[in-house]
A and B are shown apart, each in its own frame.
Chain A
């Protein structure tokens, strides 16, 4: 299993570098901006805004990190099929479930690295921001989690089909947008006024139902399929 994980790490190294860059970039940007402000001495009590700035950075980092999760899902199976290295792997006595486990473990580790530190920063700085902003920022984590699940699970399903990894990633990235647009169109057609809360509720419902279904379908198809 160690060698399978190592292989997954090497196969997805570029995506992991992207994930690290997306994770760090908002913090780096905020740090540079605050340092610039301090250097220029623009006035105002800027030190009191450090907490808000870094909390915003944690939310931005989290949102951007989801892209890496979509890339991981889309590249999971289709990537090796595209460069035909899946054929080499298929000649080895490795059970399919082990191959999939390696891919899922890597994705979960990356998700943990993206979510863990950002949630810690957010929690740690919770008291340093006004209650209104606190509520607003906290409210973005739920939809972000559903979006991350959709990104990964839809691109995982598409990756298990004989599709290219770029199509799988694109499908994963578009899935939340398509779902949102579908919900909005339905509510508009039903004549619902002020649909914002309903859109979020439906998004949760559809996202939390569709994601496990896509994950199970992709996994099942890959396990059933004899071809690499």
Chain B
């Protein structure tokens, strides 16, 4: 029996609530029993290697794919059943915006304006100016950066409660990336939106996200506050004596490897006892605890899971 923590009438509870969600494309299981909650006003970053199921998850959140199983709720509403009303309150930026190329920027804005009940003209004008978008220009003639900015503009000017971004900065040059990120930050800071975004760039996660999730082969490996994840995931470097072989790894080991005389063990929920356990192993002469960056944490989670399977 699937239990879902729904939002109450006051809007309490998770804004995004996925419970036991799976999505199968014929023989491929793209998302596997995914349970994830994102609280109101927080920014959640989803990372994972290519094909991990990030875009599939986001499309299910947007009501663009029907889940094969489980429950997908956004703002307390069942997405597959109430997709239109959910989209009224959600802004969405896809990885590659497929906006009608033959439309002019001004026409796209007016077209989208006609579909939202809460369109904010003043904000729209401000963002057009901020992003320096030419209203007369055809969408197909926009640069990749400007297309991404237009897509962000269309996603935020109806003042959504949730902003969902699917690798929106992929392929953007550093300047466009910075401007896009500032646009998102501005929205988050000024309006307090809940943001759910996927990315490959750890820098974006660091700059934007409060909590992070690592998705691998459709499964959520971890979902935690970034600072907590970084403070509890450590690498223990043990130096082995000549001819010694690695012993038992501590509980909570994500991944380990031996490089010459170095035995590297990445553990989650680190505690000094785990380092002591390793130093007590026969043949271990020295133990050192290393802080990891988000990229290393991500890599070790993925490599550990890959090795386990």
Could you tell me which A residues sit within 8 Å of B by CB distance? 2-4, 6-7, 10-11, 83-88, 90-95, 226-228
Contact = CB atoms under 8 A, between A and B. Distances in A.
A91 B98 CA distance: 10
Closest 9 CB pairs of A and B: A93-B87, A226-B66, A3-B114, A84-B98, A88-B98, A93-B88, A87-B98, A91-B92, A92-B115
A85 B65 contact: no
Contacts of B101: 83, 85
Interface string B79-104: 01001110110001010011111110
B153 interface: no
Dominant SS among interface residues on chain B = loop
B280 interface: no
A12 to B, nearest CB: 12
B83 A226 contact: yes
Given A90-B64, A228-B64, A2 B114 contact: yes
Contacts of A7: 100, 111
B243 to A, nearest CB: 60
Given A2-B114, A3-B110, A85-B98, A91 B65 contact: no
Contacts of B83: 226
Nearest to A7: B111
B63 interface: yes
A11 B111 CA distance: 14
A226 B65 CA distance: 6
A227 B99 contact: no
A91 B100 contact: no
B241 interface: no
A87 B94 contact: yes
Interface centre among A3, A92, A93 (most CB of B within 10 A): A93
Contacts of A86: 98
Contacts of B244: none
Which of A10, A90, A91, A95 is packed against the most chain B CB atoms within 10 Å? Answer: A91
A176 B290 CA distance: 75
Contacts of B99: 85, 88
Question: Of A11, A86, A94, which is in contact with the most chain B CB atoms at under 10 Å from its CB?
Answer: A94
B112 interface: yes
A4 B101 CA distance: 16
Contact of B97 (A3, A11, A88): A88
Contacts of A83: 98, 101
A10 B84 contact: no
A94 B63 contact: no
5 contacts: A4-B114, A85-B100, A87-B94, A91-B62, A94-B84
Nearest to A87: B98
A226 B63 contact: yes
Given A91-B87, A92-B112, 6 more contacts: A3-B111, A87-B64, A88-B98, A91-B92, A93-B87, A93-B116
Contacts of A94: 84, 115
A171 B244 CA distance: 73
Contacts of B85: 93
A153 to B, nearest CB: 26
A90 B112 CA distance: 12
Given A3-B110, A226-B80, A93 B115 contact: yes
A83 B99 CA distance: 10
Contacts of B64: 87, 90-91, 226-228
A83 B112 CA distance: 19
Nearest to A93: B87
A102 B94 CA distance: 25
Contacts of A6: 111
A3 B83 CA distance: 21
Nearest to A3: B114
Nearest to A92: B115
B98 A93 contact: no
Contacts of A84: 98
User: Which of B62, B103, B111, B116 has the most CB atoms of chain A within a 10 A radius of its CB?
Assistant: B111
A85 B102 CA distance: 11
A176 to B, nearest CB: 33
Interface string B260-296: 0000000000000000000000000000000000000
A166 B89 CA distance: 37
Nearest to B96: A84
A88 B80 CA distance: 18
Contacts of A95: 84
A226 B88 CA distance: 17
Given A2-B114, A87-B94, A226-B66, A10 B102 contact: yes
Interface in B104-126: 110-112, 114-116
Contacts of A88: 94, 97-100
